[in-house]
A and B are shown apart, each in its own frame.
Chain A
């Protein structure tokens, strides 16, 4: 699924790397605990989270993830956005709650993955 479609499904505002919206993601992981995310290994992933700090971007970078969707109207700080720009990770912010965001995106065809 293209990141652009995810932004539109989640009614999200794009805050970093808008030029990369046509990148495809093949899997997604939703969590507020970064080590849960780090236990998930899949290429070209999307991270859905309600946690807002620089470690979210660093976690996504370690995992080679392509996009982060912040839920519950959380606003990333300029520092977070700058870090994401540097790592070429798309950052989006959605008013949806975690459960609704994951449900909508899952229903539209993007699947999660089993734990290794």
Chain B
């Protein structure tokens, strides 16, 4: 593989319409690298949920995706409000999204559980008022 093995994206926190574009690019890139479809889909879903969260709950940030020989690592970093109770946030159905976000099709409280289900490891570092960094890996 001669293509660059690491990609960096700035995630615009102000633009809901463009949210997810980084995940689309990652999906195309992994396809070009010839990775198996189920691996690509797991990365795409996990990253897309995280990217949407950065836009609707934080104010954007950056994403970094690295392809290692045995795994894909996704880092999502924002300077948003942080997550008060991570264990609670991880529960299916828990959401603090206001009605405005629900009318956009998000706020079911399924994003973090979906990220967990589609990754092999997931680590959340968060601090109130400082931001949240989520690191996920998907094994090949």
Contacts and interface: CB of A to CB of B under 8 A. Distances in A.
- How would you classify the secondary structure of chain B's contact residues: helix, strand, loop or mixed? helix
Given A33-B106, A55-B19, A63 B41 contact: yes
B111 interface: yes
Counting chain A CB atoms within 10 Å of each CB, the highest count among B16, B108, B113 belongs to B108
Interface in A37-68: 38-39, 41, 49, 51, 53-56, 58-59, 61-64
A39 B93 CA distance: 12
Contacts of B67: none
For the side of the interface on B, what is the size category?
20 to 34
For the side of the interface on A, what is the size category?
20 to 34
B23 interface: yes
A63 B27 CA distance: 11
B49 interface: yes
B107 interface: yes
A32 interface: yes
A33 B52 contact: no
A39 B113 contact: yes
B30 interface: no
Contacts of A79: 17
A39 B110 contact: yes
A51 B114 CA distance: 20
Interface of B: 16-17, 19-20, 23-24, 27, 37, 41, 44-45, 48-49, 52, 102, 104-111, 113-114, 117
Given A34-B108, A55-B106, 9 more contacts: A33-B107, A35-B106, A35-B109, A35-B111, A35-B114, A39-B113, A55-B20, A62-B45, A63-B41
